[in-house]
Amino acid sequence: MLAAFGATSLVLFLVVTVVILSFYGGGFATIPAYLKDLFGVAQVGAIHGRLLTAWSCAGVAGPLIINAIADYQIAAGRTGADLYTLSLFIMVGVLAVGFVANLLVRPVDPRFHTEPEKESTASGKAAGSES
């Protein structure tokens, strides 16, 4: 919607931008609980670290992609808001791919939600129970 009408409506652009930015803190706060529900507590720290790394990579790659497309648009003779229309459509496509990918994620089996006991603890219990 914004990609199609953003160039003609500053108010629409501002409203959509504020809504999108308001999601950032909520998403950042709920991700650890979401990961725990999907994958359990055993490896949630490692998974969260990988997610934050991917998020950081996207934070670097996104502006680079948008600037490359804007440079391409400048070379094609476009100016003003027209420089970013293609970028917005591409980012909408990337967002749609991410949404579908998230829908395809399924929780792991609950038996993997906790860390297995270490062998030394298990053998210590077995040795202690024999005496």
Of 28-32, 88-92, 101-105, 117-121, which range is least confident?
A: 117-121
Domain presence at residue 116: no
Domain presence at residue 66: yes
Domain presence at residue 79: yes
- pLDDT digits 0-9 by tens, 31-72: 999 898 888 888 888 999 999 999 899 999 999 999 999 999
Domain presence at residue 102: yes
What's the first-to-final CA gap in the chain, in angstroms?
Answer: 73
Domain presence at residue 67: yes
Query: How many domains in the chain?
Result: 1
Dihedral of CA atoms 49, 53, 56, 62 in degrees, nearest 10, equals: -140
Domain presence at residue 71: yes
Q: Given this model, what pLDDT does residue 7 score?
A: 59
Token pair in block for residue 46: 């490692």
Helix count and strand count (H, E) for the chain:
5, 0
Of 11-25, 51-65, 110-124, which range is least confident?
A: 110-124
Q: Which domain holds residue 64?
A: 2-106
Q: Given this model, what pLDDT does residue 131 score?
A: 46
Q: How far apart are CA 98 and CA 87, in angstroms?
A: 16
Q: What is the pTM of this model?
A: 0.64
Q: Are 30 and 48 in contact (CB under 8 A)?
A: no
